Amino acid sequence: MPQIPKALHDRIPGIGWRDRKIAFLQTRTNQLDRAQHSLTMKVRKLKTALDQERAAHAAADAAHISERAAADAAYTSERAAADAAYTSERAAAHAAHKAERDTLEAAHDAERAALTEENDGLKSEIEILQAKYEAAVAEHQRFTLPSFKAKLVNYRDAADITSDNKWHASGPLAQVSYKLRSYALADSLGIATPEIYRVWHSLEDIDFSDLTVQRFVLKADRGHSGMAVIPLTRTGTGWQTLTGKEQLTESRPSARMLTRLEQGGGPYFAEEFLESASNATIPEDIKVYTAYGQVLHVLVMSTEGVQVMNRKTFKRKYFGPDGGDLGPILPGANYGPDIPVPVGWNGLLEAAEKMSIAAGIPFVRVDLYATSRGPVLGELTPAPGGKQTYSLDHDAQLGAAWNNAEVRLHRDIARGRPPGTIFGAQPYTWWYPESPLESHPSAWPRRRADARRWFTPPPSRQGEQD
């Protein structure tokens, strides 16, 4: 504020008060300035402190945020690790549980399969035991009833005893299985037989070179079940079997054929290849079971295709004497229900009855062929092989007929019938050389007579007896 000169100042009335007032105000102003300065300084200090505190607080917040972020990160990482560990542990536990469950289920399945198998085995064993029991009961009943099977067992044993001791001359049972002898017997009775082309008395002599036919059957005099029966047909270079499996470029049997023929036993012969009456590859094999002039049943065996000599391919059917189907009387056999009654049925049975009566033994199976020229003899079989276990009722019927045949034959012999085979009046060819050996066919009796002269008919035909 501008200073008033002192001389003037003193002459101005009231100026002293004003000055004092101004001085007071000046002093007060100064005080206020100082106070303002002090406050300003305080404010500055406070602001500085506040800024420092804020900075510290911000730093603390930043540190807190950083710490919290670190904690959050650590927590997140720890939680992720924990979750991963839990997930892994849970997966491992689940896998372990699944593996344990699978193991238990597998063990259970295996145990159940084993129990099922054991149960099936026990069922099968029970069924087998039941079947054995039933078979044993049936077998026991066979011994309490007349039995074809029991008779056949004894028959085979008797035939073996006769053959082993070479008592053929006095044992007709051992004579009838010789094919060429049976052909001679059939010829003498007027029953057709295959034409014989050549006969060889040793394997070394067999030679087809002089045969002019296109087909023939090579046979051994003995043997059974087709073992030594070999059909051959001519080719451009020699001969072959019907199946074509064996080819012969020479007029001699193969080594395999010779083995089969040797098992049958000589002499050996080439005979007519018979033509079937039904146009089959080979004629139906008709086996007539007879008990001294009585037809028991007729077995017809038939086959088709190239495996014509393989008996496993044959189907069978059993007929009664009246031509009726006897059904499955032989359990387990391969049946052919459509097999018809053979052509020339009555002629077949008549031929079988003639051969049965002339053979002079209680039982013989007469094997015939139904050919384009009528019934033709195949062979006589005194003791059929293979399975002959018929149903119990049928077995008993056959056994009873056999017993009756034995009694009737003994009666006829007692009334004057010559024992053994009786040849008929018709001419026949004798293919065997002379021999003094009792086991040789030429040494056996060949009596000629009408065997029906002494024949006692079976019970069903008793009215035919004189």
Supply φ then ψ for residue 257, to 5 degrees. Answer: -65, -40
Task: Look at 59 and 338; give whichever has higher pLDDT.
Answer: 338
Question: Cα 385–391–394 angle (5° rounding)?
Answer: 90
Provide mean pLDDT across the span 52-68: 80
Provide mean pLDDT across the span 245-267: 90
Percent of the chain predicted with pLDDT > 90 = 46
- Amino acid letter, residue 267: P
Interaxial angle between packed helices 392-414 and 15-144, expressed in degrees from 0 to 180 and rounded to the nearest 10:
10
| CA neighbor of 122 nearest in space, from 130, 227, 188 | 130
Supply φ then ψ for residue 325, to 5 degrees. Answer: -75, 120
41-55, 214-228, 261-275, 303-317: least confident range: 303-317
Residues in the chain, overall count: 466
Helices (DSSP H) in 145-207: which residue ranges? 148-164, 179-188
Provide mean pLDDT across the span 426-451: 94
- Whether the Cβ atoms of residue 284 and residue 301 lie closer than 8 Å to each other: yes
CA atoms within 13 A on the CB side of 422: 24
Q: How far apart are CA 124 and CA 163, in angstroms?
A: 43
- Amino acid letter, residue 425: A
Question: Count of CB atoms within 10 A of residue 408's CB?
Answer: 21
Provide mean pLDDT across the span 82-104: 85
pLDDT of residue 360: 95
- Whether the Cβ atoms of residue 160 and residue 402 lie closer than 8 Å to each other: no
| CA neighbor of 183 nearest in space, from 97, 272, 254 | 272
Is the bond leading into 419 cis (omega within 30 degrees of zero)?
no
Provide mean pLDDT across the span 173-199: 95
Position 368 confidence tier, pLDDT thresholds 50, 70, 90: very high
* DSSP-assigned states of every residue in 186-198: HHHTT---PPEEE
Examine the pLDDT at 314 and tell me if it is beyond 90.
no
Provide mean pLDDT across the span 103-116: 86
Provide mean pLDDT across the span 399-413: 96
Provide mean pLDDT across the span 47-74: 80
What is the reported pTM? 0.70
First vs last Cα of the chain: how many Å apart? 196
Examine the pLDDT at 307 and tell me if it is beyond 50.
no
73-87, 190-204, 304-318: least confident range: 304-318
Examine the pLDDT at 22 and tell me if it is beyond 80.
no
Provide mean pLDDT across the span 195-220: 94
- Cα 411 to the center of its chain, rounded Å: 51
pLDDT of residue 101: 85
125-134, 187-196, 381-390: least confident range: 125-134
Provide mean pLDDT across the span 377-397: 91
